[in-house]
């Protein structure tokens, strides 16, 4: 196992197949429809709209040249400094190996460096997502709201949030 953890890099067109495969491998956590939606984000990620004020940001995690995880995030429109985590997925063969943690730590650093102060994550209350919720809780995301029966009857939306520590010193008093 690589001691140094996965290598993180930007998205590349050649990632289409491995990302599709790792989303697929995470069924039934991801439905067919979710896989399709995530792939639509991928397509926008590799061909960004020129001057898009809210582009998708991607990070890909690689181990020995193999794509083992990715994440997609972006600013939340009409907010100041709030970001949404849209997708995170790790290949099931590599779950629990800290790939997800490394990805999230880099997302947080990147968001903070771009002036972001709050990251919001939406997930499901379904049993298949128990591990996912434990993952966010371990990474100090706070469960801030539950919308009952949001996705469908018996499938709640669970909202997690993390306020990032300011990266710059606070303004001097009387400034």
Ligand X SMILES: CC(C)(COP(=O)(O)OP(=O)(O)OC[C@H]1O[C@@H](n2cnc3c(N)ncnc32)[C@H](O)[C@@H]1OP(=O)(O)O)[C@@H](O)C(=O)NCCC(=O)NCCS
Contacts with ligand X, residue ranges (CB under 6 A): 26, 29, 88-90, 95-101, 123, 129, 131-132, 134-135, 138
Q: CB-wise, 63 or 75, nearer to ligand X?
A: 63
Nearest approach in angstroms of CB 134 to ligand X is 4
Query: For 126, phi and psi rounded to 5 degrees?
Result: -65, 155
152: tokens are 């469908």
Closest CA to 118 of 160, 84, 159, 163: 163
Query: 3-state DSSP: the chain helix, strand, coil percent, rounded to 5?
Result: 35, 30, 35
Nearest approach in angstroms of CB 39 to ligand X is 15
Query: Which residue sits closest to ligand X, CB atoms considered?
Result: 100
Q: CB-wise, 127 or 168, nearer to ligand X?
A: 127
Nearest approach in angstroms of CB 100 to ligand X is 2
In three-state secondary structure terms, 52 is coil
Nearest approach in angstroms of CB 30 to ligand X is 6
- 48 in Cβ contact with 96 (< 8 Å): no
Q: CB-wise, 26 or 75, nearer to ligand X?
A: 26
Closest CA to 59 of 16, 103, 99, 116: 103
Q: CB-wise, 131 or 148, nearer to ligand X?
A: 131
């Amino acid at each position: 196992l690589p001691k140094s953890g996965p290598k993180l890099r930007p998205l590349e067109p050649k990632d289409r197949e491995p990302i599709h495969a790792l989303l697929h491998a995470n069924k039934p956590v991801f439905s067919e429809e979710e896989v399709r939606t995530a792939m639509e984000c991928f397509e926008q990620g590799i061909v960004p709209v020129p001057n898009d004020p809210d582009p998708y940001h991607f990070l890909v995690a690689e181990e020995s040249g193999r794509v083992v995880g990715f994440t997609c995030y972006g600013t939340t429109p009409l907010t100041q400094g709030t970001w949404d985590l849209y997708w995170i997925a790790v290949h099931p063969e590599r779950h629990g190996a800290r790939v997800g943690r490394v990805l999230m730590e880099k997302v947080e650093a990147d968001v903070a460096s771009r002036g972001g102060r709050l990251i919001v994550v939406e997930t499901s209350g379904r049993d298949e997502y128990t591990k996912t919720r434990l993952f966010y809780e371990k990474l100090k995301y706070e469960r801030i709201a539950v919308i009952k029966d949001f996705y469908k009857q018996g499938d709640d939306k669970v909202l997690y949030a993390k306020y990032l520590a300011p990266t710059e010193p606070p303004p001097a008093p009387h400034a």
